[in-house]
Amino acid sequence: MNKPAKAKRTIVRFCPGIEVEGFEFPDGTYYVSITTASEAIGYNKNWLSRSIGRSGNTFKAITRAGFTNFISEVVTPSDGGEQASKLISIDDFARLILYAASRGKKEAMALNMALTKMSLTDFFRDAFGARPLTIEEKRAAFYKTYVDSLSREDWLEMDRKEDRIILGSYLFLTGE
């Protein structure tokens, strides 16, 4: 079995509450953890690993969407020693965003809209000779587009889901 690669790890924040674990390999390539990628597009954190493991209809559908099923394993330093993670390329992450959006996942549709609009804005600003946006300006524009893409009901549902996760963690930790 191959030994997991070493990489730098960081949190990639698109805007408040929308983030993934990002990894940079020594060759300069970037990857996303499969658990945070799943959550960012509106699924449970184990969705991708379960979909790959089962090789069922979902796996066939994401493969038709271009997903390569190339999973990298990486080890990063952590407080308790080293932490192993399973990763996908940013190309596969982009494919999963499109797949989830096509399946009606509101988080994925909002993420796709915000990323696309940000990219288009960059190209148009460059074409018209405007200065590039700072990362803070990009995050603010991203967040506005993301929020505008979701209804009030979508936000309430996301909050309820977060509340259930927090309550479940609390009950587990307190033994209740």
* pLDDT computed for residue 1 by the predictor: 45
Task: At 79, list the tokens.
Answer: 């407080």
The residue among 43, 44, 19, 46 whose CA lies nearest residue 32 is: 19
At 27-74, the pLDDT tens digits run 999 999 999 999 999 999 999 999 998 888 999 999 999 999 999 998
Listed range (90-104, 114-128, 149-163) with the worst mean pLDDT: 149-163
Tens digits of per-residue pLDDT, 3-27? 667 788 999 998 888 899 999 999 9
* CB-CB contact of 95 with 62 (8 Å): yes
Question: Which band of pLDDT confidence, cut at 50, 70 and 90, is reported for residue 157?
Answer: low
How many whole angstroms separate alpha carbon 32 and alpha carbon 86? 8
Place of tokens 């449970």: 44
More confident residue, 92 or 14: 92
The predicted model scores a pTM of 0.81
Q: Can you read off the two tokens belonging to residue 161?
A: 């889901």
List, in sequence order, every beta strand (DSSP E) within 34-143. 72-78, 81-89
